[in-house]
Amino acid sequence: MLPHLAVFLISAAALAYEILLMRLLGIIQWHHFASMIISLALLGFGASGTFTALAQKRLLDHFHFSFAAAAVLFSITAPASFAAAQQIPFNPLEILWDSNQFLYLVAVYLILSLPFFFAATCISIRFMHSRQSIHRVYLFDLLGAGFGALGIILLLFLLDPSECLSLICPPGLFAAAMVCLDRKTSRSVKAALILFLAGILIAVLTPFGRTGLRISEYKGLYAALRVPGAEVIRESSSPLGWITVVKSPVIPFRHVPGMSLNCTVEPPEQLGIFIDADSFTPVTRYRGNPGEAAYLDCVSSALPFHLLDRPSVLILGAGGGADVLLALYHQASSIDAVELDPEVVRLVREDFGEFAGHIYASDRVTLHIGEGRGFVAGTHRSYDLIHVSLLDSFHASAAGGFAMSESYLYTVEAFQRCIKRLRPGGFLSITRWLKIPPRDSLKLFATALAALERSGTDRPGLRLALVRSWKTCTLLVKNGEFTPREIEIMRSFCESRSFDTDYFPGITQEEVNRFNVTDEPVIHKGAMALLGPDRLEFMDRYKFNIQPASDDRPYFFHFFKWRVLPEVLSLKGRGGLPLMEWTYPILVMTLVQALAASLILIILPLFFLHSAGGRTSGEVRIGFYFLFLGLAFLFMEIAFIQKFILFLSHPLYAISVVLSSFLVFAGLGSSASGRWSGFLCRRGGWASRSAVGVAVGVIAVLSIAYLALLPSVFEKTMAMSDWAKVPLSMAFIAPLAFFMGMPFPLGLSRVADSAPHFIPWAWGINGCASVLSAVLAALLAIHLGFAMVVGFAVVLYAMAALVFWKPLG
Amino acid sequence: MNRKGLLQSGAFLVWVFVLAVAAPAQQEDAYRGLRAGLIEEIRADVKLTSERIGRARLTDRVLQAMLKVPRHEFVPDRLRPYAYENRPLPIGFGQTISQPYIVAVMTDLMDASEDATVLEVGTGSGYQAAVLAECVKQVYSIEIIEELGREAAERLERLGYRNVEVRTGDGYYGWKEKAPFDAIMVTAAASHIPPPLIEQLKPGGRMIIPIGSAFMTQHLMLVEKDPGSKIKTRQLLPVAFVPLTGGH
């Protein structure tokens, strides 16, 4: 039992470390680089397979020592690798200018892969040592991972990410101690005692042992703190983000994005809230007189307030409260403000309540802590205005997810829901940063158009308007057609602020591109083309991807098109690089690197295994079996995490609940697979060979049924409380995950029976496949959608079942 | 290897030679050669981008200034080998020295005469101020980070720029005592353009604001104040890039 517990602990610590690393790298660098670095570092799992395959005899002869040593090395390298990686002067922003950055990047990968290498080595050794009960080893491996994922997220509520780092050590040391105890010699018991004590000591000292974070000097927080007199006045942390409040009394923050050049007012005093050292939201001093917020009337997002009289407003992404101030200034009759991060709310409401004039406690304001899309789906209220201003997506990577920035707020379905919640004559108003050449504005327009059409609107063009300041653009979608009076108000709003009208019903060429002139009125022309018959052709010819995002492909921020890459690279000398969003190419780069490294890690051990006389006729099939499984498991897991994010409407809770449930129930499935295969084996013949086939059959039926049924189930249960939605989600995941936990131990048990020296190789392949799978799933989802990712998973499982059908030679 | 690649590797070898054996006078000659190569590159790039930035070539005054200002003096020692590559370089404190092509285009777009007085908000290393100082009569520059401001002032003094005055502090209110200005360049990122700066711009004057982040200038914003003090802005992409393919 003790070695099983040791596997549990190591596995828990390794997954916790992975999630923690995502948080830490997201703070010191940027999220998309964080996920690339971690993906590559996770190849440490693959490398451990190679290593244990080569050294298996020696490792097995000294099982207890090898396991304990690897566990201790994991404990040491987990914090040490991060500390060392921080010393490497890797600057992702310079990567396209400076080839040395690639060397630094590889060094970061290698250093951070060490802890994963040692953790996976422990598990691999244990598989080899415990050939008769592989399903139990896998049970504890998965249970550990499930608890690790949940544990670290709970811990991140209590401690700073840098404090959590040292807490990764004790489980590793305890694991080593347990394996030492299992050996039962007096020396090993003494060693166990020392390891236990060391683990406890580190745990006790944790609150005092904070690792210093070297935050990139190109992040907003660093720049803010270089200003004379600027200081951090509050710091707090949760799994949603690391929050820093900065006061800058000498040279104040004056955050009014895209303020009209005709306005001469200086904004009131502001405090800066930085999330993960970058994302910025101001808290503005407010003494209770709405007139103080007059400066906010100088931005493009103020437009809808001029079209409505004392509207009831829903604000999605309330942050530091600027939009609530704007609504108060315009005497909104009621304001529902939704903010995802309770810590930001607490700061505005309590810590700086007086400074912010207790705006969230105003009679007319009701604050809701939650995610925008979920709130809209769950509410029965209707509004005159739904207001979304400069709100970017929550990075799933903040909680250890995958950082392609999925967003369920800027999809066709989300727009449809928002429009449904508008009173007749009401507006959905969305403001985004203006990019040159235009991207967001046209994609918003295309998305709104698709939403109106899907809702059965006859002439959607009569319900849309698009205006821009020199820095922001605002899209209005009306529940009804624009009236001539509204168009007149819009004209004069823009005229007095020198804002441009890019589209409104009946706009003429003379009314565009007047104040903030671009070479070509691309937004206007684009909007007209999108409304015309050649919409598809226009979207195809446009050099950025402006196809509307959907719930199945929730990638609003994906503007990249392959065919533009050569052109952009050729324009490097002429300032052409910023023409592209780099998240997608980084994802592809990750895949290419992971593929190359995986191939080496998978093929290399074969030569050694052969020369050691360990040839087996079934090795190719072993390889493919574990490759298919590794890919399929994560495809399924990632796709369903996304589906449940929409349902649980809180990315962090969804990831915690879904990930942990998947791992724990798959663990239970693994445990049951032992009895299951025993039962089938006793029947012999085809029955013994169909073990995987049956499990895969159930997986296929369940997953396809879920794809068909979940949307309507979600629709009906969306308004239920979280306390009901969480167990409901778990009930859906349990059977699917249970059967997904079976194929791996069934396959590995068969390898253990007929070609035991291939166990570590199979384990390594599984590790490599998991890395490839995470990146591939994101790429497939971008192009084909998450439903297809599930489809691919089913096919891969089926192929694995076919491979399993034939006995190993 | 393409022309630029050859130029860069050639530049690197020259620099190694410069550092290893050459006397100061020869060093300066070598740097001048590298600079000339860079200017040729910029000249060619501008030709290709002429439609976008509304001019077929940069004025001689700007090109001469770029040819004269020793960019290597404005970058950290370890980055000197790359001083004459057409790329942004880090100068510490989270700041960068812009890509020379962008510096040249921005300076040219100011359309400032030899007698002009120019305000710069965001001194950084002082390189842009030096290029401006070669082109106009007087440059005033404000830097928010004290250390950077001090270093830039010392550097400009050492290099003999007597027509640049640097001060550290808040750029929001401009430099009232020296206003109005024929042109203003705001290289420090801001969510909005400070009204006092627009006020301190002479009628007929121009303001240039590069928009983007460190290492990435996304586009340039040109603010024009006509003789009647009316404001107009233009968004300029310093790149020959048309977002639509084919005719429309």
* A124: in domain: yes
Interface test with A, best of B99, B192, B220 (most A CBs within 10 A): B192
pLDDT in the model for residue A735: 96
Instruction: Give residue B59's domain range.
Output: 3-236
Residue B160 has pLDDT above 80, yes or no: yes
pLDDT tens digit sequence for A166-221: 889 999 999 999 988 888 788 888 888 888 888 888 888 776 666 688 999 988 89
Enumerate the residues of chain A whose CB falls inside 8 A of the CB of residue B99.
575
Say which residue the tokens 């994005």 belong to. A257
Residue A339 bridge partners (DSSP): A369
Residue B5 has pLDDT above 50, yes or no: no
Residue A433 bridge partners (DSSP): A472
Query: How many other CB atoms are there within 10 angstroms of residue A121's CB atom?
Result: 29
* B230: in domain: yes
DSSP per residue over A402-421, as a string? --S---SSSSHHHHHHHHHT
Amino acid identity at B72: H
Within this chain, do residues A520 and A596 fall inside the same structural domain, yes or no? no
Q: What is each CA distance from A701 to A448, A665, A736, A793, in whole angstroms?
A: 35, 18, 9, 12
Task: Verify whether the Cβ–Cβ distance A573 to B239 is below 8 Å.
Answer: no
* A279: in domain: no
Q: What is the DSSP letter of B247?
A: -
**Rounded Cα gap, residues A417 and A415, in angstroms:** 5
**Rounded Cα gap, residues B102 and A575, in angstroms:** 7
Could you report how far apart the first and last alpha carbons of chain A are, in Å?
33
Using CA of residue A510, residue A513, residue A517, residue A520, what is the dihedral sign?
negative
pLDDT in the model for residue B214: 75
* A572: in domain: no
* A169: in domain: yes
Residue B18 has pLDDT above 70, yes or no: no
Within this chain, do residues A523 and A628 fall inside the same structural domain, yes or no? no
Within this chain, do residues A320 and A469 fall inside the same structural domain, yes or no? yes
Distance of CA B226 to the CA centre of its chain: 24
pLDDT in the model for residue A741: 93
Distance of CA A518 to the CA centre of its chain: 35
The number of CA neighbours under 13 Å toward the Cβ of A159 is 21
pLDDT in the model for residue B22: 59
Task: Verify whether the Cβ–Cβ distance A257 to B192 is below 8 Å.
Answer: yes
Within this chain, do residues A212 and A224 fall inside the same structural domain, yes or no? no
* B93: in domain: yes
* B244: in domain: no
The number of CA neighbours under 13 Å toward the Cβ of A477 is 31
* A799: in domain: yes
Enumerate the residues of chain A whose CB falls inside 8 A of the CB of residue B168.
228
Q: How confident is the model at residue B16 (pLDDT cuts 50, 70, 90)?
A: low
B133 with B155: CB under 8 angstroms? no
Task: Verify whether the Cβ–Cβ distance B214 to A93 is below 8 Å.
Answer: yes
Containing A390, the helix (H) or strand (E) segment is: none
A437 with A579: CB under 8 angstroms? yes
Within this chain, do residues A152 and A40 fall inside the same structural domain, yes or no? yes
> HEC string of B182-236?
EEEEECCCCCCCCHHHHHCEEEEEEEEEEEEECCEEEEEEEEEECCCCCEEEEEE
Find, among B246, B247, B200, the residue nearest to B223 by Cα. B200
Within this chain, do residues A186 and A237 fall inside the same structural domain, yes or no? no
* A723: in domain: yes
Within this chain, do residues A308 and A371 fall inside the same structural domain, yes or no? yes
CB pairs under 8 A between A and B: 152
* B66: in domain: yes
pLDDT in the model for residue B74: 96
Within this chain, do residues A137 and A230 fall inside the same structural domain, yes or no? no
CA distance A554 to chain B (A): 23
A646 with A373: CB under 8 angstroms? yes
A315 with A390: CB under 8 angstroms? no
A230 with B145: CB under 8 angstroms? no
Total tally of structural domains belonging to chain B: 1
Token pair in block for residue A783 = 């192009």
Find, among A448, A493, A436, A500, the residue nearest to A475 by Cα. A448
Of A97, A217, A437, the CB nearest to B241: A437
Task: Verify whether the Cβ–Cβ distance A517 to B233 is below 8 Å.
Answer: yes
Within this chain, do residues A612 and A593 fall inside the same structural domain, yes or no? yes
The low-confidence residues of chain A, meaning pLDDT below 50, are 395-403
Active site residues of B: 98
pLDDT in the model for residue A500: 96
pLDDT tens digit sequence for A222-259: 989 999 999 999 999 888 889 999 999 999 999 998 89
CATH of residue A664's domain is: 1.20.1250
Domain final residue, candidates A527, A561, A595: A561
Of B86, B231, B239, the CB nearest to A261: B231
Enumerate the residues of chain B whose CB falls inside 8 A of the CB of residue A259.
191-193
Within this chain, do residues A299 and A169 fall inside the same structural domain, yes or no? no
* Residue of chain B nearest A250, judged by CA positions: B170
Within this chain, do residues A534 and A664 fall inside the same structural domain, yes or no? no
pLDDT in the model for residue B11: 53
Radius of gyration of chain A (CA): 28
* A642: in domain: yes
CA distance A276 to chain B (A): 17
* A289: in domain: yes
Within this chain, do residues A318 and A455 fall inside the same structural domain, yes or no? yes
Find, among A589, A795, A775, the residue nearest to A703 by Cα. A795
Instruction: Give residue A3's domain range.
Output: 1-216
* B75: in domain: yes
Q: What residues contact residue A172 under an 8 Å CB cut-off, 6+ apart?
A: A9, A10, A13, A71, A72, A74, A75, A78, A119, A199
CATH of residue A151's domain is: 1.20.1250.20
pLDDT in the model for residue A721: 82
* B245: in domain: no
3-class SS at A144? helix
Say which residue the tokens 């980070």 belong to. B145
3-class SS at A561? coil
Token pair in block for residue A173 = 């040391």
Q: What is the DSSP letter of A614?
A: -
Domain final residue, candidates A216, A235, A253: A216
* B242: in domain: no
Q: What is the DSSP letter of B72?
A: G
* Residue of chain B nearest A264, judged by CA positions: B195
